[in-house]
């Protein structure tokens, strides 16, 4: 089978994967794809900060069961798994898009671009030869890939990528807290909590806020949301 063909038959029984979250990777490796990477992002929904993506190639002999969807782990466990990924010999790439890029491109395109950057960052010596992507949208890169709805629960590689993306982004927002303490980014990571929304109303947006997002654009003095950049909600809209 050509490496340019997507082996879609390998994914026909996604619902039957059970608890084996490395099954898809092993199937792909048996088909000749030697570098299988999982890709995920963090930060679609916040009103502030970048969207960050992770790309991870797990060693075939690692204990993949440790790596679960980052949303199901406590912050302390995410940090532990983050360290374990760096210690176990995994190949790791990180990419991000800034708030200005999100405003320009929209959150969907910015998320996919962050994923592309993470893939390109994953292996300096060469790109992965197959990608397992969380979600429904393919990444704009000329590599064989498969999207997986709720991919973090089906692929340990995607789960590992979600941990890399989430921990990296949380650390960036903790650093931002020192510069913009009014918004309590240390606690909310830029998400639209009540406290965060009230801080935007009281102090206005800071440079990290996504000025085309509902909940921010109402407080932008130059009405950027009504200019050349399209108004956005959060997530994929």
180-203, pLDDT tens digit by residue? 999 999 999 999 999 999 999 999
User: How do residues 26-50 score in pLDDT, each as one tens digit?
Assistant: 999 999 999 999 999 999 999 999 9
C-beta of residue 221 within 8 angstroms of C-beta of residue 205: no
Q: Which domain holds residue 118?
A: 20-177
Q: What percent of the chain has pLDDT over 70?
A: 85
Q: Is the pTM of this model over 0.95?
A: no
How many domains are there within the chain? 2
Domain-located, residue 54: yes
Domain-located, residue 131: yes
**55 & 155 share domain:** yes
**196 & 129 share domain:** no
Domain-located, residue 124: yes
**123 & 188 share domain:** no
**101 & 214 share domain:** no
User: How do residues 211-232 score in pLDDT, each as one tens digit?
Assistant: 999 999 999 986 554 444 545 5
**220 & 162 share domain:** no
147: CATH: 3.30.420.10
Least reliable range by pLDDT among 57-66, 78-87, 173-182, 190-199: 57-66
Residue 7: what pLDDT? Answer: 52
Domain-located, residue 29: yes
Residue 109: what pLDDT? Answer: 98
Query: For residue 88, how far is the Cα from the chain centroid?
Result: 21
Domain-located, residue 207: yes
C-beta of residue 191 within 8 angstroms of C-beta of residue 83: no
User: How do residues 1-28 score in pLDDT, each as one tens digit?
Assistant: 334 445 555 554 555 556 789 999 999 9
Domain-located, residue 13: no
**50 & 134 share domain:** yes
Query: What one-character-per-residue DSSP string does 125-163 give?
Result: T---SEEEEESSS--SSSS-EEEETTGGGT-HHHHHHHH
**192 & 207 share domain:** yes
Distance CA 18, CA 15 (A): 7
**209 & 124 share domain:** no
**128 & 194 share domain:** no
Q: What confidence category does residue 124 fall into, taking pLDDT thresholds of 50, 70 and 90?
A: confident
**115 & 41 share domain:** yes
Last residue of a domain, one of 162, 177, 192: 177
Residue 58: what pLDDT? Answer: 95
Residue 233, both tokens: 């909600």
**74 & 39 share domain:** yes
pLDDT at 68 over 70: yes
**197 & 152 share domain:** no
The contacts of residue 10 (CB under 8 Å, 6+ apart) are: 24, 27, 28, 31, 146
């Amino acid at each position: 089978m050509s490496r340019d063909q997507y082996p879609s038959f390998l994914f026909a029984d996604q619902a039957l994967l059970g608890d084996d979250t490395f099954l898809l990777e092993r199937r792909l490796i048996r088909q000749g794809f030697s570098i299988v990477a999982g890709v995920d992002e963090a930060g679609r929904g916040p009103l502030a900060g970048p969207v960050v993506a992770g790309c991870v190639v797990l060693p075939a002999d690692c204990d993949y069961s440790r790596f679960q969807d980052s949303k199901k782990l406590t912050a302390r466990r995410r940090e532990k798994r983050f360290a374990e990924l760096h210690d176990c010999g995994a190949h790791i790439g990180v990419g991000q898009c800034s708030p200005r890029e999100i405003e320009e491109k929209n959150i969907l395109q910015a998320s996919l671009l962050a994923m592309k950057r993470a893939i390109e960052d994953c292996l300096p010596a060469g790109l992965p030869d197959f990608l397992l992507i969380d979600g429904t949208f393919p990444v704009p890169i000329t590599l064989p890939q498969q999207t997986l709805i709720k991919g973090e629960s089906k692929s340990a590689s995607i789960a590992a990528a979600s941990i890399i993306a989430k921990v990296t982004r949380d650390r960036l927002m903790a650093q931002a807290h020192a510069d913009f303490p009014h918004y309590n980014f240390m606690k909310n990571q830029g998400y639209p909590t009540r406290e965060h929304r009230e801080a935007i109303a009281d102090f206005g947006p800071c440079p990290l806020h996504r000025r085309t997002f509902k909940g921010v654009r109402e407080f932008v003095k130059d009405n950027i949301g009504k200019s050349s950049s399209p108004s956005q909600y959060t997530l994929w809209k």
